Structure 1
Amino acid sequence: MSIEVTNISKNYGTQKALDNISFSVKKGEIVGFLGPNGAGKSTLMKILTTYISADAGIATVNGFDVNKNQLDVQKSVGYLPEHNPLYLDLYVREYLAFNADVYKVTKSRIDEVITLTGLTPESHKKIGQLSKGYRQRVGLATALLHNPDVLILDEPTTGLDPNQLVEIRDLIKNIGKDKTVFLSTHIMQEVEAICDRVIIINNGKIVTDKKLDNLISADATQIIEVEFDKTVEDILIATIPYIVSYKNTNGSFWELTFFSEKDMRSVVFDFAQANGLRALQLNLKNKNLESIFREMTKN
């Protein structure tokens, strides 16, 4: 296994950041690690990259124990933290040369990662002159310098505009053809576009770990959008059989959530008939990762 996590726990004072979590990642997988803010994502990534230690449990990267074989782990991992640490006064090539010396890799590798990450047009500039997207490319180039087997990326597309986001997404997907990629993000479309598998964590515990296709097809969450011909009070909406949650989106428009494999539009129609209402629109909203994520991370 590229990554093996067994019964890992981590506390910050009285706060339990990670609560006895376990999973493994095979070589060549691209895994999305999802969760709300404060769920424990960055904490686990810091443990896997040896920045901090767990309070209990065992974690290995490429077979190396993160506590006993820290240097071997660091050689095996390329890490892009959420806040990409860069020296803004250095030129791109100067910064990469500095890191190449740290990793003891040949200078020819600098040209390779510049080409791989699409930095060539900006490689003559100071990092401080680069856009956010190109700064992220510098971070990725640095993470790839020593040609690691595993890439751990914490929010790699935060703050990017739509064009930059697509470029970095495509870059990660291309890199994932040869390496194991473990990434954290809040952008569900990004996960749907590049990940093979999804692990969702909430309050320090894993709430699901499935192949992306299986997660979406197996989830029984159903969202129905309905427009009634009259204003309806919340207290009446709450009486609809099997309803899990509801939201008034605009006047007489409602978004109703059910947990059932049966098409619940008939239930909503019968509810309207029984209460002297007409359903002017009644649409089954397609399930996606975002709706599944919301349901699984409700507190």
Structure 2
Amino acid sequence: MAAPGNVSVIFILSGIPELEDHQDFLAFPLCLLYVVSLLGNFTILVIIRTEESFHQPMYILLAMLAMTDIGVSLTTLPTVLGIFCFNYDQIHLDSCLTQMYFLHTFAAMESGVLVVMAVDRLIAIWDPLRYSSILTNPVIGKIGLGIVLRGLCVVFPIPFLTRRFPFNKSHLLSHSYCLHQDVIRVAGADTTVNSIYGLVAVLMTKGVDSMFIVISYILILKAVLDIRANSARLKAFSTCVCHICAVLLFYIPLIGLSLVHRFGKNTSHLLPILMADVYLLFPPVINPVIYSMKTKQIRQKIAKVFNSRKLRTIDNKIAVLKV
């Protein structure tokens, strides 16, 4: 149930404080970030979809990670580019709540995918002979469905809990998109229920996931140290490098942002904004770059695709010249 007067509530989104006069100059790099993010993740999806040899758990999980990154990018894109490219900084309450829901849902899904990828690496190193029989494609499909349902259900109450507040205190938000912590900050009522449920939701998703990731890597490290040959140790652990980078890039800004929002009342107002931007804008850009560079099979396939296109272009030009 909506609070009286909320029908016409319009929030004012913020760019980057102290750089308002330079927002036009930030438009190009931000557009470039989104192009790299969407192009990189869609490329990975197309390659995994079309290449039959990639229809196995490790690559299917990578495709799931790419899909969550695309979801995050498409959710933040309208308001971020609206501010920096068109100087449009307004968003209606319902649009804000919708963006907030999908943003937190995709983040919860990405967290779930990262924990399954950690378990995937654990089984591959701990018991490689049974890997293909434990993590079959149907099993990965069921796990993927569970990740989606968990994200949708855990975040579902938050927009409804938020919509009941009267927003007569302030309409100015701190970010270029709607985050739950930021929206309830400007609510003109007691937000204890939202704060408690938000904390519970984080613990149920990212808290549990981070615990399983830590446990998985402790077991991975133990298994790697049990390998006698140094070259085999290095080879086994190198398969985890991309995933470790993805985990650090996702969790470090997330933990910092949560701590600052809840306990950092006296910190610089610029700090949570920069942390939120790193948390939401950079993983979708860097994840496909890391996996493309470090995964030999994907790197070779991308090179093959671009080389074949170049050869076709040359052949077409030759054919035109002959005519």
- The structure whose residues are more often helix, as a share, is 2
Using the size of structure 2 for normalisation, the TM-score is: 0.23
Give the number of the structure with larger relative contact order, counting CA–CA contacts within 8 Å between residues 6 or more apart.
2
The structure where strand makes up a greater share of residues is 1
Q: TM-score, normalised by structure 1?
A: 0.24
